[in-house]
Amino acid sequence: MKKNKTVLMFPGQGSQYKGMGLDYNTVSDKFNDYFNLASDLLNESLYDIIAGINDNSTKLDNTLYSQISIYTLSSVIFDYLFEQKILKKEDIFTISGHSLGDYSALYASGYYSFKDGLKLVKYRGSIMSEANEKMDGMMAAVIGVDYKSLENLLIQYKDKFKEEVYIANYNEYSQLVISGKRSGIEKAIDFLKENKIRKIIPLKVKIASHTPLMKDISLKVGDYLKNIILNEPVFNFFSSTSLIYPKIQEIKSVLENQLISQVNWVNSIEYFLNNEVNIFIEVGPGKVLSGLTKRIAEKNQKEVLIFNSDNPSELSNLKNYLS
């Protein structure tokens, strides 16, 4: 019988939604502990922010709150998977994340405690939130074009307008994200539409993530990381920006450079598929990574099983399959 190989995927900013994961409140031993720690750090109730109670209805989309919310919930769900013996240590091939998801993935891998990771995410979210107001950056999803074609069009665009626009995320073969200063992205959108790229979706951010424009923030993250003591990991962590299994002494460098590096989800999933991974579990809110992974697997003619963890009931299919 073929042994299961499982990859745990941790989503990034943009996967948050009102009410996400609150059903874990009644089943998870860690829910209250982790949510209370996050609330103490924020000086307000994380539960109320996610639930949209009272004056918290719009806070979840703020960079600081969305990052802390996703990290906290993802950590709760990861612990729940093992508390309930849904997963066994030997089942896990690799743990990986998408952008912010790296921080949840590193907690799950055992590099630091939930609390240390929470402080790190708060710091990252705070400086990114500040940059949101100052940078006037912009990101946009470009749908229906392959990487090489988009790359060639952006070369033409830069030659014509002398504006720096970067491919920030290679999410799927025909779903990419461009990033840069707002003035450059807005002109690039018009240029791409003139070149028959019909579907371009501006994202709700004011920052140019995963480009060289994030250098100052990247350096601040690096300085903060100097005070973090990392543990020997329990699981393998695969970086979707550097496309390596970083050694413990390389983790801080990977995190520092993450914000100026492209997220290469396509090549990450291709690597897992080539290593005969047959189960992917999205650990956290939403189904963004599940959808991307499904399409990448289909393109490579690989049959895989993909499970979500939005709420405890969704994990019953995974539990039934593994048992």
Asked if 179 and 303 sit in the same domain, the reply is no
Same-domain status, 105 and 29: yes
Check whether residue 43 and residue 172 sit in a common domain: no
User: Roughly how many angstroms between the first and final C-alpha of the chain, as a whole number?
Assistant: 14
Per-residue model confidence (pLDDT) at position 198: 87
Q: Mean pLDDT for the chain?
A: 94
Report the pLDDT averaged over residues 198-218. Answer: 92
Average pLDDT over residues 48-66: 87
Q: How many CB atoms lie within 10 A of CB 114?
A: 21
What are the backbone angles phi and psi of residue 281, rounded to the nearest 5°? -125, 120
Q: Please compute the mean of the pLDDT values over residues 46-62 and round it to a whole number.
A: 87
pLDDT at 209: 95
More confident of the two residues 211 and 206: 211
Same-domain status, 124 and 150: no
Same domain, 220 and 86: yes
Specify whether 162 is located in the same domain as 217.
Answer: no
Q: Does the pLDDT value for residue 211 go beyond 80?
A: yes
Domain membership of residue 165 as a residue range: 137-202
Among residues 180, 202, 224, which one ends one of the domains?
202
112 with 246, same domain? yes
**Structural domain contains residue 1:** no
Q: Per the residue annotation, which of 66, 179, 210, 261 is the catalytic one?
A: 210
* pLDDT at position 308: 95
pTM tops 0.75, yes or no: yes
Beta-strand runs (E) in the chain: 6-10, 92-97, 137-143, 165-172, 175-181, 199-202, 237-238, 263-264, 279-282, 305-307
Average pLDDT over every residue of 297-309: 96
Where are the alpha helices (H) located in 162-262, listed in sequence order? Answer: 182-194, 215-225, 251-258
> Annotated catalytic, 99?
yes
In a domain? residue 207 = no
Catalytic annotation present for 113: no
pLDDT band at 65 (very low <50, low <70, confident <90, very high): very high
What is the average per-residue pLDDT within 45-71? 90
pLDDT at 56 over 80: no
Active-site residue (options: 15, 28, 99, 109): 99
Same domain, yes or no: 69 and 195? no
Q: pLDDT band at 322, cuts 50/70/90? A: confident
The token duo for 66 is 């969305």
- Amino acid 2: pLDDT: 65
Strands of the sheet with 263-264, listed across from one edge: 199-202, 137-143, 175-181, 165-172, 263-264
Q: How many domains does the chain have?
A: 2
Read off the CATH number of the domain in which 148 is found: 3.30.70.250
In a shared domain, residues 83 and 197? no
**pLDDT of the residue at 1:** 52
pLDDT higher than threshold 90 for residue 177: yes
What digits encode the pLDDT tens for the residues 108-161? 999 999 999 999 999 999 999 888 778 889 999 999 999 999 999 999 999 999
